[in-house]
Structure 1
Amino acid sequence: MKKAVLTYLKKPQTIIAVVVALMAQLIFCMVWMTAYDGVLDRADRLKIAIVNEDGAFGSKIEQQIKSKLPFKVAVLSKEQALDALLQRDVHLVLTIPESFGKSLTAPGTRAKLTYTVNESNPQLSKNVMQTVATQVTEELNRSAVLQGTEIVLQQLKLPSDQASKIAQGLVNKVDAQVESLNPVVGMHNQMVPMMLVLASYVGAMMMAMNIHQASEAIGSALSKRQHLAFRSMIIVVAAAVISFAGSSLIAALGGQMKSGFGSFWLFHFLTLATFMFFAQMFLAVFGMAGMFLNMAVLSLQLVTSGTIVPREMLSSVYQWISYFLPATYSVEGIMNLQFGGVHTGKDAELLLATILFSAAVTVGAILIKKQETPLAKKTASPINEFSVN
């Protein structure tokens, strides 16, 4: 084994393999954790346009909306607002139609607000604007009920001050209490599972490629058993070091770790080792062409792992594929350990099963394939060989 270690370490590809995987981990952790930190705190930079077609009553609604929402609000004409929406200068157009106030105060009629959203925008901005629409509608409903109750009580000959107090009491009889299980602190923490899947698998792909090239260059200078032993050893060592570096950086940059650093790091180590064995398997079977499969697997895992869209919302085909990809169980485990959750042990067992399967396929492929002659022997000069003899 000592000979195998020294032989591999003499090849620059071996060192490059570990460095590439390490840099992928550090770069992704640094960029994603800092880029997404405080994203939700900057939601007030989003813009809303109001189109008022109801004159003085609409102006009251404008002021009410401006006082309630933490966004930049502009009052524009219909043409200006739609143009700004198409150019992504505003994210929502709220139209107060003509006779809105009349419909709001008339018995038996319903007033309607129009919300216009440009869906050709990032998902987060669309989600925020949908929340705004709900919030504005609820606030106006509350105001309408309050005003209507005051009018009815005044018609019953109650003084206006007393009618207002009674109406306020009727409206506020029910308070909302919102409880959250396993809360996520900040957008940067929300993005950690996706970031780790992406960084870890890209790093694993690059490392597998470089180790494969080093192995081909060494060829029959080492036995197949020595090749397999070194590949397994370098994966375990690299996964331990790289996962510790990544987990430490996440913790230093304010990452949540509800289960504690130790549990998070160990599961991260298991994830990275699984990805490395899994990526290596395709190269062992298909050679350098396996990199194309690895790229396809990376894309599939980002789609089906549940980091962006819940798997339940995917088609049945993609849901079926997700059960055979390790990122599915990696994401579930990371979320459990980072924010809180159950059945992490089951996720760890499935990742271990993936390691065993990948290692078995790799061993079989290497044992079946013929070893290449070392590159140095292939390029040896016939003149040099003659002079030695």
Structure 2
Amino acid sequence: MKSFIALLKKRETYIGIGAALLFQLIFFTVWLTAYDGVYERSEQLSIAIVNEDPLQGKELTTLLKKNIPFQIETGENTDQALKKLDKRELDMVIYIPKDFSQTLMSDEKAQLIYYINQANPSLSKQMMEATSKEITVTINQKLAQLKYTTLKEEIAKTLTQSPNPELAIQISENILDEVNPLSLADPITGKVVQTNAKEGFHVTMIPLMVVLASFIGAMVMSQYLQVTATQLITQFGKWTLFLSRQFLNVIVAISLSFLTIGLLIIFNIELEEGLLAVCLFQSVLFFSFLTLSQLFVILFGNSGMVFNIIATATQLVASGAIVPRSMLSSFYQKLGDFLPATYGVNGYFSLIYGGGQLLHDSMRLLLLIGTFICITVVGILFKKNYQIDSSI
């Protein structure tokens, strides 16, 4: 009992309890507000329709626009649409072949082709695959109804030429009773082409896992480096410590990238980019997390941990690793533009699956690094008392 009371007398005990409570409060608040109304915003997903059929292609495109609850793009050729899909600017491309109408008129099954980029969050891929099936069923129902109507009109024409109209009407009614639109064979089939495909569900979790592990590691490292810097502040100047800290951050970031590559190789994860590209990108990503997490603890001391917890929850949501960013509210979409995890997730989708804009994501990370360091420098410059409480 004495030991229990002794624990309660220590300030660090309440800091730990408070941290546990804050994690719950912050994650509940951020995640539930961010994911509220996600399915209602599914209309923000984008699909391109590429039509090469000169006969009925326009009518089919119009039909698709009426039945697809997403943003629709038209007017692009196949290469343009697939390039945008590869850059993850589109969620799916629907391709209408040039012989689509001719195949239908020859009583053969025509084919609609759906291109779905696998280098996307699982939710987006699942929704696109479900949509492709629904589109195929809808078009088949429309075409079956059209065939039924045509059959009915042809029978009506035949009746006018019959010597016994009453008997012909009775026969035609019996035929129409037996034949209904749903019993007619499906005139089209849907083919799903998965671009940048990889086998194994575990591969889809790599962007989220690497980003989460990297930021948590950076956050803990920054917290302890701040304690060390506080203990050394009387021996060295604050700028000397700051520069030494950045040098150490660079060394750790580069070293960690080799560990990341080693783990990817051990677990047989195939990469679409070379090892050097993975090494450089992971180094830049981890360094960006270090500059962000150290910003809060340098400027606010141990209280900066609260901001790092908020940054953890926010980055997991806004990065697009779990739910496509286009399905988030505009607030979280814009917030994600200023957080490293967004470009970390995009970058790892490119490294693992291919496609994307790896160079663009790397440059944005470098820009964020420069921004975070500048803010930290200004904060240190105006901070009157750089030495803070060294307790965790």
TM-score, length-scaled by structure 1 = 0.52
1:343-382 paired onto structure 2 within 5 Å? 343-367=357-381, 368-372=383-387
Q: Distance in 1 between matches of 2:276 and 2:189?
A: 41
> Could you tell me which amino acid in structure 2 is paired with residue 354 of structure 1?
L
Letter aligned with residue 235 of structure 1:
N
Residue among 244, 260, 269 paired with 1:230: 244
- Tell me the equivalent position of 1:266: 280
Q: Could you tell me which residue of structure 1 aligns to residue 318 of structure 2?
A: 304
Q: Distance in 2 between matches of 1:325 and 1:371?
A: 26
Residue ranges of structure 2 left out of the alignment (5+ in a row): 1-121, 152-183
Query: Is the Cα–Cα contact under 8 Å of residues 264 and 338 in structure 1 kept in the other structure?
Result: no
Instruction: Specify whether residues 371 and 308 from structure 1 end up closer, same or farther in structure 2 by C-alpha distance, changes over 3 A only.
Output: closer
Q: Residue 206 of structure 2 aligns to which amino acid in structure 1?
A: V
For the 8 Å contact 2:288–2:365, the answer to whether it is kept is: yes
Conservation of the 8 A alpha-carbon contact between 1:220 and 1:371: no
Shift of 1:326: 1.3
321, 327, 338: which one aligns with 1:313: 327
CA contact (8 A) 2:301 2:389 kept: no
Equivalent position SS for 1:307: coil
Which of the numbers 305, 323, 336 marks the counterpart of 1:322?
336
Separation in 1 of the partners of 2:324 and 2:190? 27
- 8 Å CA contact 1:264, 1:337 repeated in 2: yes
C-alpha separation in 2, matches of 1:193 and 1:270: 15
Q: Is the 8 A contact 1:304 1:318 kept in 2?
A: yes
Partners of 1:300 and 1:212 in 2: CA distance: 23
Partner of 1:288: 302
Partners of 1:366 and 1:356 in 2: CA distance? 15
**Aligned counterparts of 1:216 and 1:345: Cα–Cα separation in 2:** 37
1:131-169 CA distance string (max 9 Å, x none): 59x69x96xx99xx9xxx9xx9xxxxxxxxxxxxxxxxx
> How does the TM-score come out when normalised to structure 2?
0.52
| 1:120-269 aligned within 5 A | 171=185, 176-269=190-283
Task: Classify the secondary structure of the residue corresponding to 2:198.
Answer: coil
* Aligned residue type for 2:203: N
Report the Cα distance in structure 2 between the residues aligned to 1:176 and 1:269, rounded to whole angstroms.
43
- Tell me how far apart the structure 2 counterparts of residues 328 and 266 of structure 1 sit (CA, whole Å): 17
Name the SS of the counterpart of 1:185 in structure 2: coil
Q: How far apart in 2 are the matches of 1:356 and 1:247?
A: 26
Which whole-Å CA distance do the structure 2 matches of 1:374 and 1:174 have between them? 71
| CA 1:173–1:295: 2 relative to 1, 3 Å | same
- Amino acid aligned to 1:207: M
Q: Which runs of 5+ in 1 are unaligned?
A: 1-122, 153-169, 376-389
Residues 298-334 of structure 1 show CA distances to partners (whole Å, capped at 9, x for unaligned) of 1001001010111110111111211111111111122
Q: For each residue in 1:246-271, what CA deviation from the matched residue of structure 2 results, as whole angstroms up to 9, or x when unmatched?
A: 22202220223111222122111110
CA distance in 2, matches of 1:195, 1:270: 17
**1:236 maps to amino acid:** V
Report the identity percentage: 32
| Deviation for aligned residue 1:174 | 5.1
Given the superposition, is the C-alpha separation of residues 370 and 333 from structure 1 closer, same or farther in structure 2, using an over 3 Å criterion? same
Q: Is the Cα–Cα contact under 8 Å of residues 350 and 358 in structure 2 kept in the other structure? A: yes
Q: Using the alignment, how far apart are the partners of 1:371 and 1:273 within structure 2? A: 23
The 4+ residue runs of structure 1 with deviation greater than 6 A are none
Tell me, yes or no, if the aligned pair for 2:343 and 2:362 is still in contact at 8 Å.
Answer: yes
Pairs within 5 Å for 1:76-91 = none
Q: Distance in 1 between matches of 2:331 and 2:380?
A: 32
RMSD: 3.9
Q: Give the deviation of 1:179 after TM superposition.
A: 1.9
Aligned equivalents of 1:374 and 1:222: distance in 2?
17
2:330 is equivalent to residue 334 of structure 1: no
Aligned length: 235
Decide whether aligned partners of structure 1 residues 215 and 181 sit closer, same or farther in structure 2, where only a CA change above 3 A counts. same
Distance 1:361 1:312 in 2: 29
Task: Find the counterpart in structure 1 of residue 118 from structure 2.
Answer: none
Aligned residue for 1:278, secondary structure, equals helix
Task: For residue 257 of structure 1, give the secondary structure of its aligned residue in structure 2.
Answer: coil
C-alpha contact 1:251 1:257 (8 A) present in aligned 2: no
Q: How far is 1:177 from its partner?
A: 3.5
Three-state SS of the structure 1 residue aligned to 2:269 is coil
Question: How far does the alpha carbon of each residue in 1:39-83 deviate from its partner, in whole angstroms, 9 at most, with x for none?
Answer: xxxxxxxxxxxxxxxxxxxxxxxxxxxxxxxxxxxxxxxxxxxxx
Rounded to whole Å, the distance in 2 between the matches of 1:191 and 1:242 is 19
Distance 1:371 1:219 in 2: 8
